[in-house]
């Protein structure tokens, strides 16, 4: 702790900035329990090729 005029000074805590998500995200249900999130259409296509019964979720 730092002191100024015999008083304790708390360190300043910076607030975390929220990231702006400009990239679209795609949610994919690959089975009854598993939902994955992918960033690109290419990744979405790859997962759909691996799991043909996968459904895109809103």
Distance of alpha carbon 38 from alpha carbon 45, whole angstroms: 10
Residue 5 lies in a domain: no
Domain limits for position 50 = 23-58
| pTM, rounded to two decimals | 0.58
State which residues of the chain have pLDDT below 50: none
The number of domains in the chain is 1
Q: Which residues contact 58 (CB under 8 A, 6 or more apart)?
A: 27
**Farthest CA pair distance, the chain:** 69
Which residue is associated with the tokens 């290419």?
Answer: 42
Per-residue pLDDT, 10: 75
Residue 31 lies in a domain: yes
Cα distance between the two ends of the chain: 49
Residue 6 lies in a domain: no
Residue 36 lies in a domain: yes
Per-residue pLDDT, 19: 67
Q: Which residues contact 34 (CB under 8 A, 6 or more apart)?
A: none
Residue 56 lies in a domain: yes
């Amino acid at each position: 702790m730092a002191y100024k005029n015999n008083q304790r000074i708390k360190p300043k805590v910076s607030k975390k900035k929220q990231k702006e998500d400009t990239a679209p995200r795609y949610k994919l249900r690959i089975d009854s329990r598993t939902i994955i999130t992918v960033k690109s259409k290419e990744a979405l296509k790859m997962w759909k090729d691996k799991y043909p019964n996968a459904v895109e979720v809103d």
